[in-house]
Amino acid sequence: AAVEGFDVDDVEGAIEAAGHGPLPVLAVIGRPNVGKSTLVNRIIGRREAVVEDKPGVTRDRVTYEAEWAGRRFKLVDTGGWEQDVLGIDASVAAQAEYAIEAADAVVFVVDAKVGATDTDEAVVRLLRKAGKPVVLAANKVDGLSGEADAAALWSLGLGEPHPISALHGRGTGDMLDAVLEALPEAPAQTFGTAVGGPRRIALIGRPNVGKSSLLNKVADEDRVVVNEIAGTTRDPVDELIELGGVTWKFVDTAGIRKRVHLQQGADYYASLRTAAAVEKAEVAVILIDASESISVQDQRIVTMAVDAGRALVIAYNKWDTLDEERRYYLEREIETEFAQVAWAPRVNVSARTGRHMEKLVPAIEAALAGWETRVPTGRLNAFLGELVAAHPHPVRGGKQPRILFGTQAGTKPPRFVLFASGFIEAGYRRFIERRLREEFGFEGTPIHISVRVRE
């Protein structure tokens, strides 16, 4: 494509960059205090992940976007994990299991100064079973004298231990090179073998909103829980359920059904599980307890699904308990708290009475259709041309930036690149997004718009 004032290579490069599919996922796992959060901080180059001397800092945020040597990936940080009542071995194992499941490759961090512990050995067994690519990071090798400690970790049988100092950065570059070699270009479990199989749904929401009740309701009502479908390998934590004549894969349902009660770290555990489920899914059904005020936690879960670029349906549960007053306030709350996802299809359900269960599938289908929508370049530019003519960008400093050309670089979710003659203000970008939605639908899907400005 040639765009006035742009180099052809720039245009093609920009379209390719914007069209990237979902990013591969790298999980950083290991015992508490080995330096996972410090390493995550170093990789993302920010001070965002909290590091504290004592283990067990509870956080909500568990996935970050990172880049190394021009390649982008998602990083799952398990550093906020707390030792639970089951003891350290069980909690580290559970953490590792969730993280490994969601990941395409794993960095296993061991404290080289301490050496391999029994807990580390237990994690190694999990890693073997999972069969995902692993890079072994021998951390806290702050100087040459620590190299021998790192070499001792060959004994774990995971191949070469990479001596690093997450704190000072020593060796982390070489380790990341090894990570990139191990990491597939695209997330395998999301978009590899599973393509063509049942669509994947993550049923998510904070504790007690009714996830397990809803899952039981849909599984029972339709009485069909398919166990094997030709050509699909069934993950034991996923459940195949037939709804509305179609088989769907509800991902990570073990976490919903198995009511694991943790006294500490339960929030963190829940958010890690939510992140893992969202990564594996195409569409997230976010369950909200409509009888209670919309909380910050509800909003975080919505943000997690939007940031992951998944199709989205919002289901307001426990509708059977709502009186007129609560319904009034709920509408006000939705308007203010969920304004950024006003495009998400909404259903008002009751897992208890079965109210409106039949509306769930059409909402999910609408969201997936929006998520996969592709607007042909000709149509897009006809639309942009009219839009720009009718509503030009405001004049700034005597100049009027113009949109010259646009194209949809990708789907799932839809990603657009616009080429402009000058800086396009945030307000005008939002206006374009609004009009794109009015014109082409995009119900139930986030859309990404990146703007390239002529030099």
Please answer whether residues 141 and 168 qualify as being in contact, where contact means their C-beta atoms are separated by less than 8 angstroms: no
Residue 352 lies near ligand GDP (rule: CB under 6 A): yes
252 is in an annotated binding site: yes
Please answer whether residues 447 and 31 qualify as being in contact, where contact means their C-beta atoms are separated by less than 8 angstroms: no
**Phi, psi (rounded to 5 degrees) for 135:** -115, 125
Q: How far is the CB of 203 from ligand GDP (least distance, A)?
A: 9
What track of x and - describes contact with ligand GDP for positions 40 through 69 (by CB under 6 A)? -----------x-x-x--------------
Stretch that binds ligand GDP, among 28-36, 188-196, 242-250, 377-385 (CB under 6 A): 28-36
Running DSSP on this structure, what letter comes out for residue 395? P
Residue 445 lies near ligand GDP (rule: CB under 6 A): no
What track of x and - describes contact with ligand GDP for positions 158 through 197 (by CB under 6 A)? -------xxx------------------------------
Q: Which helix (H) or strand (E) holds 249?
A: strand 246-250
347 is in an annotated binding site: no
- HSE of 34, CA atoms in CB hemisphere, 13 A: 28
175-202 exposure pattern, b = at least 16 Cβ within 10 A, e = fewer: bbebbbebbeeebebbeeebeebbbbbb
Closest CA to 59 of 84, 30, 79, 32: 79
Q: What is the DSSP string of 98-141?
A: HHHHH-SEEEEEEETTT---HHHHHHHHHHHHHT--EEEEEE--
Strands 239-243 and 246-250: antiparallel
What track of x and - describes contact with ligand GDP for positions 199 through 228 (by CB under 6 A)? ------x-xxxxxxx---------------
Please give the radius of gyration of the chain, using alpha carbons only, rounded to the nearest integer.
24
399 vs 403: CA distance, rounded Å: 13
- How close are the terminal C-alpha atoms of the chain, in Å? 17
Residue 34 lies near ligand GDP (rule: CB under 6 A): yes
* Interacting positions 121-160 with ligand GDP (CB under 6 A): 139-140, 142
Residues forming a β-bridge with 313: 285
Burial degree of 25 (CB within 10 A; 0-12, 13-18, 19+):
buried
Residue 11 lies near ligand GDP (rule: CB under 6 A): no
Report the residue number, 223 or 258, with the smaller CB distance to ligand GDP: 258
Stretch that binds ligand GDP, among 99-107, 292-300, 318-326, 378-386 (CB under 6 A): 318-326
Site for ligand GDP (CB under 6 A): which residue of 136, 351, 363, 409?
A: 351
Q: How far is the CB of 451 from ligand GDP (least distance, A)?
A: 37
19 is in an annotated binding site: no
Q: Give the total of residues touching ligand GDP (CB under 6 A).
A: 34
Stretch that binds ligand GDP, among 27-35, 61-69, 236-244, 360-368 (CB under 6 A): 27-35
70 is in an annotated binding site: no
Which residues fall within 8 angstroms of residue 5, CB to CB, at 6 or more apart? 404, 421, 454
Report the residue number, 350 or 445, with the smaller CB distance to ligand GDP: 350
Q: How far is the CB of 353 from ligand GDP (least distance, A)?
A: 7
303 is in an annotated binding site: no
Stretch that binds ligand GDP, among 13-21, 30-38, 89-97, 335-343 (CB under 6 A): 30-38
Report the residue number, 14 or 351, with the smaller CB distance to ligand GDP: 351
Enter the tokens of residue 120.
């580390």
Residue 321 lies near ligand GDP (rule: CB under 6 A): yes
Closest CA to 43 of 31, 35, 52: 35
Annotated binding site for GTP: 30-37, 77-81, 139-142, 205-212, 252-256, 317-320
Contacting positions for ligand GDP (CB under 6 A): 30, 32-38, 51, 53, 55, 79, 139-140, 142, 165-167, 205, 207-213, 256, 317-318, 320-321, 350-352
